[in-house]
A and B are shown apart, each in its own frame.
Chain A
């Protein structure tokens, strides 16, 4: 590599970083909002809304998505280790 800056890597880090690093907490925030609305705890112009089980359920789907992302993150960190000890090469783990 002769370049001073590894631009391909930097641009991927920025793009995926924005998507995951900013997107996931935003998704979680939407979950918190739906959960509040579902429980009738979110105010709309001073009027407290009714309970809405569908919104509450949807909020749990979003929380589960974020949880899945965290689990994938952990597996990603551990992928080489898992690959070496179980033979399951996931998420681009290096073969030995």
Chain B
């Protein structure tokens, strides 16, 4: 087998793995509030969301063959670089999942690719203005807009149902939530599965196995991406769901429907007007807004602050992992380089997974009372929750491990 084919296979497998983490990382965007308010049982919610993500992935028609278009110099993109970028994205997705922090999968992927690009050719391979105007500024605007819309929606909703029995209101809005959550899931499948299809398509073109002029990737790419994101969604990122559904705001079904409607409207509008906003940033802002807009509701600003911090460091962190991975893969070169890079990714994922098993969160305890921390209150036998500050060093651990291997 020649090296380019070997690399292509590794890129495709890694891209599907990224798609999978994308799915389970983002289940909460659509379903967290429905699960928290009791509109849907946890298992039902993830199954519904997974099906709609699957359908949504097939609805994607215009798959851009350029990854990170307008962000990096596309002539300089190589298979090794795409692989390193994907490793950065996956590692960051897994770490934030471990901490139960919703963070943008697109940002993680973009960060990884930009970091790998800097490692490959230096800063001139990056289109910095594009990065600021199409990634950084929207990341600030999205949660602000979403918070405002959801806050107004929530306020109007509670104003309208004043004096109506609480049970009646909750029952009514539970039905409403099913509709609004479904719409968010569908939109997510359409947007996010497309991203991975674009990565694989690009890799196929680089290898010469696909025609750059065709507008759609081969069917097996569409099917495998759809299945990967749906499987990830079905697995359910319970840790992120818990933070979004219980950690930020105590959510009742009227707030849930207001938050999801706001998310659905903003995501669909932003894709319509060609100003892409991260699903995660929008959904998180909407949930925050549903707490702001409900009279007397408690918003845990500390949790919101931790998320904002995570968003700030997403690009640089994923970038560092992407850059280091590129150094390893390209520095060693050939079969050993790519194999070691892949082995490191598998090892890092395994370590993070084992870490998560220390205080597992699943469909059974996802709705447990929030006691100031992601894992507090989920199990009486659970060891004391690891403080947030103990995990980020594992990024640098990865990096140092990588450096040693090199």
Give me the interface of A with B, judged by CB distance under 8 Å.
Answer: 1, 3-6, 9-10, 12-14, 16-18, 20-26, 28-33, 35-37, 41-44, 66-67, 70, 73-74, 76-78, 80-81, 84, 92, 94, 96
Residue B344 at the chain A interface, CB threshold 8 Å: no
**B5: min CB distance to chain A, Å:** 32
Is B164 in contact with A41, judged by CB distance below 8 angstroms? yes
By the criterion CB–CB under 8 Å, are A20 and B133 in contact? no
Q: Is the CB of B262 within 8 A of A22?
A: yes
The answer to whether B165 touches A41 (Cβ under 8 A) is: yes
Please indicate which of the listed interface residues A1, A21, A28, A66 has the most CB atoms of chain B within 10 Å of its own CB: A21
Other-chain residue from B59, B161, B258 in contact with A22 (beta carbon distance below 8 A): B258
The answer to whether A9 and B275 have CB atoms under 8 Å apart is: yes
* Residues A33 and B59 in contact, CB atoms below 8 Å apart: no
Contacts A36-B164, A77-B187 given; indicate if A4 touches B156 (C-beta within 8 A). no
Are A32 and B133 closer than 8 Å at their CB atoms?
no
CB distance from A15 to the nearest CB of B (A): 9
Q: Are A17 and B172 in contact (CB under 8 A)?
A: no
Give per-residue flags for B138-153: 1 if the beta carbon is below 8 A from chain A beta carbons, else 0.
0001000100111011
Question: Are B269 and A12 within 8 A (Cβ)?
Answer: yes
User: B180-201 vs A: 1/0 string, CB under 8 Å?
Assistant: 1011001100100000000000
Given contacts A28-B176, A78-B59, 18 further A-B contacts (CB under 8 A): A18-B152, A21-B149, A23-B153, A25-B153, A25-B154, A25-B156, A25-B180, A25-B257, A25-B258, A26-B160, A28-B173, A29-B156, A30-B160, A70-B179, A70-B180, A70-B183, A77-B183, A84-B61
From B159, B164, B264, A21 is in contact (CB under 8 Å) with B264
B132 interface contact, C-beta 8 A? yes
Compute the total of residue contacts between A and B using a CB distance below 8 Å. 154
Is the pair B150, A73 in contact by a Cβ cutoff of 8 Å? no
For the residues of A in contact with B, the DSSP-based class is: helix
Q: Please indicate which of the listed interface residues B165, B179, B215, B277 has the most CB atoms of chain A within 10 Å of its own CB.
A: B179
B216: nearest residue on chain A (CB-CB)? A84
Asked, given contacts A33-B161, A76-B268, whether A17 binds B149 with beta carbons under 8 Å apart, the answer is: yes
Contact check, A41 vs B168: say whether CB atoms are below 8 A apart: yes
Tell me the B31-90 residues at the A interface (CB within 8 Å): 56, 58-62
Interface residues on B, range: 35 or more
Docked complex Cα distance between A1 and B70 (Å): 12
Closest to B140 in A: A5
A23 to B157, CA, bound (A): 9
CB distance from A87 to the nearest CB of B (A): 14
Residues on the B chain within 8 Å of A33, using CB = 160-161, 164
Q: Which residue from chain B places its CB closest to the CB of A76 in the assembled complex?
A: B268
Residue of B with least CB distance to A70: B179
Give me the 6 closest cross-chain CB pairs, A-B, nearest first: A21-B265, A22-B153, A26-B156, A29-B160, A21-B262, A9-B275
Contact B262 A9 (CB under 8 A): no
Q: B157–A26 contact, CB under 8 A? A: yes
Alpha-carbon gap, A37 to B274, bound state (A): 43
Considering the chains assembled together, what is the distance between the CA atoms of A37 and B173 in angstroms? 16
Interface check B163, CB cutoff 8 A: yes
A4–B270 Cα gap in the complex (Å)?
Answer: 16
B153 & A12 in contact (Cβ 8 Å cutoff): no
Asked whether, in the complex, the Cβ of B137 is within 8 Å of the Cβ of A4, the reply is yes
Query: Across the interface, which residues of B come within 8 angstroms of A30, CB to CB?
Result: 160
Contact A32 B172 (CB under 8 A): yes
Q: Give CA–CA (A41, B161) in the complex, Å.
A: 12
Complex Cα distance A21/B156, Å? 11
Please give me the residue from chain B that is nearest to A19 by CB atom: B265
Are B165 and A21 in touch, CB under 8 angstroms? no
Hey, which chain B residues are within 8 Å of A12, CB to CB? 269, 273
CA distance A92 to B255 in the complex (A): 32
Q: Are A13 and B275 in contact (CB under 8 A)?
A: yes
* Residues of chain A within 8 A of B187, CB atoms compared: 77
Give the contacting residue for A67; candidates B58, B163, B179, B269; CB below 8 A.
B179
CA distance A22 to B158 in the complex (A): 12
A9 to B274, CA, bound (A): 8
